[in-house]
Amino acid sequence: MKKKVLMIAQGFYPEIGSAGNRMKNIYKLLWENGYEVHILTTEPTYPNKKLYEDKKFWDEEGSFNNEFINRVKIANRKYSRSLFNRLFYYLEMAFKLFFLVLKDKQKYDVIFVSSPPIFVGFVGVVAKYKYKCPLITEIRDLWPESLKGVGVFNYNWIINTFSYFERFLYKQSEHIIVNSGGFKSYIIEKSGVAPKKIGFMPNSALLKEIPQSKDPSSRKKFKVIYTGNIGLAQDIDVLKKLAFCLDEQDIPLSMVGYGMKKQEFIDFVAKNKLANVTFHSPTTRRECLELNLAHDVGFVSLNDSQVFNTVLPGKIIDYMTCGLPIVASVDGYAKEIIERESLGFVSESRNIDEIVNHIVFLKTNPALRESISKNAIQFIKKHFLWEKNIYELISRIEENNEPKEGKGIINE
């Protein structure tokens, strides 16, 4: 008899971004491994609802068991700095998911909830007690630490309240899954949970997403790409300086992005008449990976805040999947992996001259780019494949503390 899993998550197919893609792959791979999976989630809203009126974002609709997907509608509030807007958005979502749990007459063997937002985590706690089954909590980002890192919530009483909720959620969970190895020590120190309670399942690639071949010689011009969020965490000042300097070097920069700071960046490019910067609208994962393949270097940046030292941005994994050398303005865990595995270059100091010099050096060394590309794809195949890494979660569902033999992942 199939075990029944209830997933609870804000982001899910067809929503773009790391969270939606992650939940989609977990859902599908659990089905493929013999579980009956139900999901409570929201209608796609990120970065805005209107985007999903385009049918191309629903390109995998035929491969889902839609009868097991239950979505709630949330008011169309823009992602912003507004404390009121964000809190109301998250609370509305949590209450609607909470009432879905109360109405649900099913029985489940395990609850899998994905946080942030932390309010969704508490829906998972309610479900745990209603269905009398174990709770596996996934932590994709550290709340409230990440909120402090981007300066969204500057009220100590809110931060302290969230910190209490955070510890409560960790202690209520039978197992905790993290998507960044850097989160482990933080959670242990914060809540005192046993290390064996925490499993590592990083954002990953599907085997079919890895290109069979890559022929950079077919391209006429060396190009740099940036994909994903242009928001509070991404250090827009570095992005602006990079765009300006690459324009001076006559190196094209493609921006495939969305987020709160995107318009500010567009205005900067227009004001400075940077002809070498090209903007692409948010698109499907498939098309985004194809765009990556048409470029030579992938760029990533994060604000200089200690909280981001534990993070491995999803775009780094996407760049590796496509065999793109990485130039990064990051520190901590992401820096360690890029440098240790020879995946590119890092400017810890966020010095724009150093960043541009790294890019120019890669431009003039095609053999080095090819070597880095091979390293990246080998690293993905060894440590960042969904088909392997899903067994970390499966082992927790089966109430083991270690992945199945032969299915282990990178030790971080």
CA-CA distance, 319 to 300, in Å (whole number)? 10
How much is the pLDDT for 310?
86
Q: What is the mean pLDDT of residues 309-317?
A: 91
- pLDDT band for 196, please (50, 70, 90 cuts): very high
Give this prediction's pTM.
0.92
Q: What's the CA dihedral at 22, 26, 28, 34 to 10 degrees? A: 170
Architecture per CATH, domain 4-204+385-397, reads as 3-Layer(aba) Sandwich (3.40)
How much is the pLDDT for 349?
82
Q: What is the mean pLDDT of residues 104-109?
A: 93
Q: What is the mean pLDDT of residues 165-180?
A: 94
Q: Long-range pairs for 154-162 at CB < 8 Å and ≥24 separation?
A: 155/83, 158/83, 162/118
How much is the pLDDT for 231?
83
Q: How many CB atoms lie within 10 A of CB 394?
A: 20
- pLDDT band for 259, please (50, 70, 90 cuts): confident
pLDDT digits (tens, 9 = 90+) for 354-400: 999 999 999 999 999 999 999 999 999 999 999 999 999 999 999 84
- pLDDT band for 404, please (50, 70, 90 cuts): very low
- pLDDT band for 306, please (50, 70, 90 cuts): confident
User: Could you tell me the end-to-end alpha-carbon distance of the chain, in angstroms, rounded to an integer?
Assistant: 35
Delimit the domains of the chain by residue range. 4-204+385-397, 207-382
Does the pLDDT at position 301 exceed 90? Answer: yes
How much is the pLDDT for 215?
59
CA-CA distance, 117 to 128, in Å (whole number)? 18
CA atoms within 13 A on the CB side of 165: 21
Domain 4-204+385-397 and domain 207-382, same fold? Reply is yes
How much is the pLDDT for 403?
46
Which range, of 61-70, 237-246, 344-353, 380-389, averages the lowest pLDDT? 61-70
Helices (H), 323-365: 332-340, 352-363
The kind and range of the H/E element at 317 are helix 314-321
Record: fold of 207-382: Rossmann fold (3.40.50)
Does the pLDDT at position 216 exceed 90? Answer: no
**349 secondary structure, DSSP code:** T
